[in-house]
A and B are shown apart, each in its own frame.
Chain A
Amino acid sequence: MNYVIIGNSVAAVGAIRGIRGVDEQGNITVISRERHIAYGRPLISYLLGGLITEKRMAYLPEDFYEKNRVNLLLDAEVVGVDSARKQVKLAAGDTIGFDKLLIATGGDPFVPPIEGLAGKDRIFTFTTWDDAEKLKGIAADMERVVVIGGGLIGLKAAEGIHLLGKQISIVELADRILSAAFDRPAGRVVAKKMKANGIDVITEDTVVRIEGDGARISGVTLKSGDYIPCDTVVVAIGVRPAAGFLKGSKVEVNRGIVVNDTMETSVKGIYAAGDVAEASDFFSGQKNPMPIWPDAYIQGDVAGTAMAGGKKSYSGGLAMNSIELFKVPTISMGITNPVEPKEFDILTYQDAENYQYRKIVLQENRLVGAVLVGQVDRAGIFSGLIREKVDVTPFKEQLLDPDFGFIHLTKEIRSTLFAPYGKVA
């Protein structure tokens, strides 16, 4: 059996382990257009800010590829997939045949057409190790930076640049930063802390023109008419599935590559996992991209297992983020900001002065979402309650308690999880 995996990040790693859990013999070929072995993509802001060295970027133990007998092709871009002939085509011209193919190509940063952007030197995106290197390379003569986009990637870029001692403005179109994961109070708590650190957070506005002569940037003009002087711009508006090379392959692509619960695409034998895929959502069951690290791993594992003929099914993507910004830890999961709040039961606790906030979202006595700012310990217990759809009625009053734990659940649950009886392997 010949397995080919396009992309060499977390979804690919999950898939390699998934395949090897079932099939120790088959040939695995991994093709990546990057020149690095698998690295912690979310660590690029730590690298930029000097919090970690390059040595820490490696995501896997050194012997991983060898131990799992993976044939790794780096610096090789796939430019086409021929589903009928079961071949992928590389930019260099050669083709590689497959029996089972996994597309784990993640996302490409999206750069919208902004007036004055074309031809400018210091426009950056921030999604790869090399992006971080490039920014670091010009750090010495960088002074003021504008980050377009106040989502996860924009804030992470801002934090890294801030650690280099540069002045930063973040421009976000929504009414708060991190609008995908946070509700308004949580967004405010974090924005307050960022401002206290000297970061200029501008919401409900956007960059309409990049100013400057020739390749040099002198500033940006906002929709509101405001002008911010700067020498560097980071565009962090979002990522789009890296699926362009699938044109003509018959693999169905919507907002991502559409997959079923074993991560198989519309073409038999071809699978997709991670940021590039559009799998079912935990709550609604509808197809939904879920561009987060843990989910990419899980999808990769399901895909790899299925490709090798094993049985595993995806239980649905559950949004989940742990983001510490300027020493304020935050964890959010599930439905944090329901569109129809009336259908939900929402509990909150707030102490903005001390950067503390807790929010619990319930639906029909089941936990469906949580936001924790400040005190985030044991947040995973909530993720377990969401996944297991536990009826929280008996301990609803305790959910906001910072010491909430298993002791508040029923004895039956505690015994199932921790007691020794009958648990013989």
Chain B
Amino acid sequence: MKRIYTIEDACIGCHLCEVGCITEHSQSKDPIRAFLHEQVRSISRCTVEELDGGVISLSTTCRHCDEPDCLRACISGAIQKNDAGVVRIDTEQCVGCWSCVMACPYGAVQRNLAKKKANKCDLCPDRKSPACVDACPNRALVYKEGSQK
């Protein structure tokens, strides 16, 4: 399956992948509205980590694991892996127990505290390639066929 990979040396720490992700998962899909006017701002599914004021940075995201630890830990069955291999959370079904946060070794599940729901990369079902990948100005994120690790 196609996965999102990170080229650390190309990351400039601009956080545009996060902006792209938040916008894609907003109601309006418009960055200004998503950041300024929507009542609950969605939470980025990718996480940019930085050190030494940005000298080192990289964007981390879900690996859509072959044997997802998040799925195995989920007590409600909200997390399922579909036939294409994509691991998604059914937000309605989620009870906000954070078992997936505890189990995911990639730190790829976020807590949406306003909604008390877990949140993770869904590989953007409405797009050809994920919003974070398209948003990266330096091609530090690549979307291609590959294995988990």
Contacts and interface: CB of A to CB of B under 8 A. Distances in A.
B102 A380 contact: yes
A380 B62 CA distance: 12
A52 interface: yes
Nearest to B141: A420
Interface stretch (A95-103, A258-266, A403-411): A403-411
A119 B142 CA distance: 67
A380 B105 CA distance: 5
B4 to A, nearest CB: 9
Given A293-B73, A418-B8, A425-B147, A377 B101 contact: yes
Interface in B30-68: 47, 49-51, 56-58, 60, 63, 67
Nearest to A415: B8
A118 interface: no
Interface in A292-335: 293-294, 297-298, 301, 320-322, 324, 329, 331, 333
Given A380-B109, A407-B58, A416-B149, A60 B77 contact: yes
Given A381-B105, A420-B5, A420-B7, A294 B60 contact: no
A324 B60 contact: no
A329 B80 CA distance: 24
Contacts of B49: 405-407
Interface residues of B, number: 50
Contacts of A406: 49, 58, 60, 107
A378 interface: yes
A294 B73 contact: yes
Nearest to B97: A322
A420 B101 contact: no
B94 to A, nearest CB: 9
A424 interface: yes
Given A376-B111, A418-B60, A419-B5, 12 more contacts: A14-B72, A42-B97, A51-B95, A56-B93, A61-B77, A324-B98, A380-B108, A383-B105, A408-B51, A411-B8, A423-B147, A424-B147
Contacts of B5: 418-420, 423
Contact of B110 (A41, A293, A377, A423): A377
Contact of B1 (A294, A387, A425): A425
B102 A383 contact: yes
A355 interface: no
A130 to B, nearest CB: 18
Nearest to B83: A67
Contact of B107 (A331, A333, A381, A416): A381
B37 to A, nearest CB: 26
Interface string A355-390: 000000000000000000000111111011001100
A59 to B, nearest CB: 4
Contacts of B47: 378, 405
B101 to A, nearest CB: 6
A160 B145 CA distance: 46
B103 interface: yes
B104 interface: yes
Contacts of A40: 75-77, 95
Which 5 A-B residue pairs are closest in the complex by CB-CB distance? A384-B105, A420-B5, A378-B107, A423-B146, A380-B104
Interface string B1-30: 101011110000000000000000000000
A43 interface: yes
